[in-house]
Amino acid sequence: MVSGNIKEQIDTLVNLQKIEMETINIKSTLNNVSKKIGTLDNELKEFEQKIEDKEAMIVEMKKNYRDRESDFQMNLDREKKIQVKLRSVKTNKEYQSLLKEIEDVRVRNSKVEDEMIECLDNMDEAEKEVVSKKDEYLHVSARIISEKKDIMKAAEQGKERLAELENDWESVSGKIDSGLLKTYDLIKERNKGRLAVVPVKDAVCHGCNVNLPPQLYNELYRGDTLKFCPNCQRIIYWEGS
């Protein structure tokens, strides 16, 4: 296999791996762009819906209030009619009975009046809530617009960076021995997206965290042949102690 300038080859391979990892990261970010935008759009829509629901509630409350108002008027009219009748009664019994009727109508209307006041209070509160929600909406929508802008800008930059990385990949991979590149690809395939070339620090493989035998560690330090981790079988390189 590769010999001689093996250290240089490994450095180049590590460089290639960096390029590939960054490419994977950017592609995954780009894949998430439409999902992120969708989430933000939904957030805004949900906020709008809350305001609309509150406004629909106010319409309902107003209708409720008008119904009470007409009940109130009806009771007043009824009372007036009884008052008229009262002027032409003949007997005391009749008189007492009409007075009782007036009293009943007044009790009923006082209840209606209480309900109307409660209705007005609730309407007032709901209207205040709508005003404050609308105010909040301005902030939320401004934030969402700016977040969407940032996402689109990052996506644009990501695409530009991808094009750069593609060029880098071409030139860097061209410097690597084809046999080594093939080995690297095989290990990469086996490790599914994880690093294929890993550093060894203090005799520990940073791919699998297992200690290397001293003999292998010494050979790795010399750096004149390609070495693999005996545990995870990835390409290893010495990176200080």
- Binding residues (CB under 5 A) for Zn ion: these are 205, 207-208, 229, 231-232
Q: How far is the CB of 20 from Zn ion (least distance, A)?
A: 19
Closest CB to Zn ion among 105 and 236? 236
Q: How far is the CB of 12 from Zn ion (least distance, A)?
A: 21
Long-range (24+ apart) CB contacts under 8 A made by 171-180 are: 172/12, 172/15, 172/16, 172/19, 173/16, 175/12, 176/9, 176/12, 176/13, 176/16, 177/2, 177/9, 179/1, 179/2, 180/1, 180/2, 180/9, 180/13, 180/226
Q: How far is the CB of 36 from Zn ion (least distance, A)?
A: 36
Looking at residue 211, the DSSP 8-state letter turns out to be: B
Closest CB to Zn ion among 68 and 206? 206
Closest CB to Zn ion among 158 and 223? 223
Q: How far is the CB of 190 from Zn ion (least distance, A)?
A: 12
**Of 55, 36, 196, 211, the residue nearest 128 (C-alpha):** 55
Measured in residues, the chain has a length of: 241
Q: How far is the CB of 4 from Zn ion (least distance, A)?
A: 25
Closest CB to Zn ion among 105 and 200? 200
Terminal Cα distance for the chain, rounded = 27
C-alpha dist (Å) from residue 196 to 82, 120, 151, 167, 185: 98, 71, 31, 21, 8
